[in-house]
Amino acid sequence: MNALNLKLCDIQGRLFELSGEKSIPSVAFIRAFMTSDVAKELDSTYNRAQWMGEEYLLEEIKSAAGDALSGTGDIFSNDILYWIGYVYRYWHFYTGEDSSKIIRQAPVDTMRRNYMMFHTMDPSLAIEDLKEINGQN
């Protein structure tokens, strides 16, 4: 994992945090993001969206998702949101899998449920454990 990849993990973590600060229901936001064109762009080898910053990326997601983000639902803590965003992006770099495949393997509720157990682990170990959990289901 190189420094640029880690910076993109941080940007995605901050994007997820920002969604909570803007009172966007967390499950709806994460699902919308992980299946969005923005996530596909971040999955690509290089795309200008990778360096636009979390504020711009959030506006792109909100614009594309529309009413899907305007409902009600829990807003996760900043710590949980950051960790989920960071690990999902790390997962992409670690395995090469795209965001839409990653969220199918580790849905939002699985990530939230396992946060306390996995957030202090090296991300690659957490990903291996999340893949194992998925294999058991």
At 16-57, the pLDDT tens digits run 999 999 999 999 999 999 999 999 988 887 656 556 788 888
Q: pTM of the full predicted structure?
A: 0.91
Report, as an integer, the average pLDDT of 63-87.
Answer: 91
Percentage of residues in the chain with pLDDT exceeding 70? 95
| 8 Å CB contact between 104 and 128 | no
pLDDT of 46: 67
Residues near 108 by beta carbon (within 8 Å), at least 6 away in sequence: 26, 27, 30, 31, 84
Instruction: Compute the Cα dihedral for 91, 95, 99, 100 and give only its sign.
Output: negative
Of 65-69, 96-100, 116-120, minimum mean pLDDT range: 65-69
What is the pLDDT, as a whole number, of residue 31? Answer: 94
DSSP 65-127: HGGGGSS------HHHHHHHHHHHHHHHHHH---HHHHHHHS-HHHHHHHHHHHTTS-HHHHH
Q: How far apart are CA 12 and CA 6, in angstroms?
A: 10
Mean pLDDT for 74-94 is 97
Q: Average pLDDT, stretch 70-85?
A: 93
pLDDT for 51 equals 64
